Amino acid sequence: MSFQAYLDAVETTTGHTPRQLVEQATAKGFGPGTKAGPILAWLKEDYGLGRGHGMAMVHVITKGPSISTKHVGSDGVHRDESATLWLDGKATRP
């Protein structure tokens, strides 16, 4: 599963785009430097997200939408189209 697919699944599960969740996290005081545990606990309690999908959101909340180019353009199941994740919802992705 690609990183972007994880974020799309988060949107399906929560009803919120990744960007909306980042905004909520920021309002709660989460951001760069925040440990994963508190963010994961919030996402599980409020949205029922498991660890894998939660960790995808932890990355975006603490590090932004940029990811490693390791799987960009590869042929594996973890490939992503871009090193920048789309946070504004799967329906609006170009």
Instruction: Note the pLDDT tens digit of each residue in 39-70.
Output: 999 999 999 999 999 999 999 999 999 998 88
Find all residues with CB under 8 Å of 8, minimum gap 6, and list them.
Answer: 90
What pTM does this model have?
A: 0.92
Q: How many CB atoms lie within 10 A of CB 93?
A: 11
Residue pLDDT, tens place only, 12-44? 999 999 999 999 999 999 999 999 999 999 999
**Whether the predicted pLDDT of 74 surpasses 80:** no
C-beta neighbour count of 82 within 10 angstroms: 14
Residue 75 — very low, low, confident or very high, per pLDDT cuts 50/70/90?
A: confident
